[in-house]
């Protein structure tokens, strides 16, 4: 079963990956975009990590809802609303459970994607 700590670590690991790949993401965004995708996501996931440390949500759903809300309010362009809404709706679909199964997460992610 997956608990709030697992989801917290998932978001922290994502923030570290975005940090590592920020320049690459921005380079990919340069030819057709405005070369800010890496820095946008970096700002967003840094804010997510900070918010999770500060608020310490106690359920998997609450971790994802907070992460999503933070991305929506800190990332510009389309990626903030897209990734933020995905995480927020996935979190809402998980409800108030203290632990969720991999199957429940799969279903919740499907709801988030839709």
Nearer to Mg ion by C-beta: 12 or 76? 76
Contact call for residue 81 and Mg ion (CB under 5 A):
no
Smallest gap from Cβ 18 to Mg ion, in A, equals 15
The residue with its CB nearest to Mg ion is 77
Tell me the pairing of strands 99-100 and 2-3: antiparallel
Number of residues that bind Mg ion (CB under 5 A): 4
Q: Does 27 bind Mg ion (CB under 5 A)?
A: no
Stretch touching Mg ion by CB under 5 A, among 27-35, 55-63, 87-95, 102-110 = 27-35
Positive/negative CA dihedral, 16, 48, 3, 102: negative
- Interface with Mg ion, residue 77, by CB under 5 A: yes
Name the H helices within the chain: 4-29, 37-55, 60-74, 79-94, 102-113
SS3 36: coil
Considering the complex, what minimum distance in angstroms separates the CB of residue 35 from Mg ion? Answer: 7
**Quick one: which of 36, 59, 64, 70 contacts Mg ion (CB under 5 A)?**
36
Q: Site residues (CB under 5 A) for Mg ion? A: 33-34, 36, 77
């Amino acid at each position: 079963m997956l608990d709030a700590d697992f989801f917290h670590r998932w978001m922290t690991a994502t923030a570290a990956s975005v940090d590592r790949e920020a320049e690459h993401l921005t380079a990919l965004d340069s030819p057709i975009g405005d070369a800010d995708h890496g820095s946008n996501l970096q700002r967003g996931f840094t804010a997510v990590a900070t918010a999770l440390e500060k608020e310490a949500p106690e359920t998997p759903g609450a971790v994802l809802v907070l992460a999503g809300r933070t991305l929506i309010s800190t990332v510009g362009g389309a990626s903030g609303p897209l990734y933020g809404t995905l995480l927020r709706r996935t979190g809402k679909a998980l409800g108030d459970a203290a632990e969720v199964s991999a199957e429940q997460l799969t279903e919740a992610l499907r709801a988030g994607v839709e």
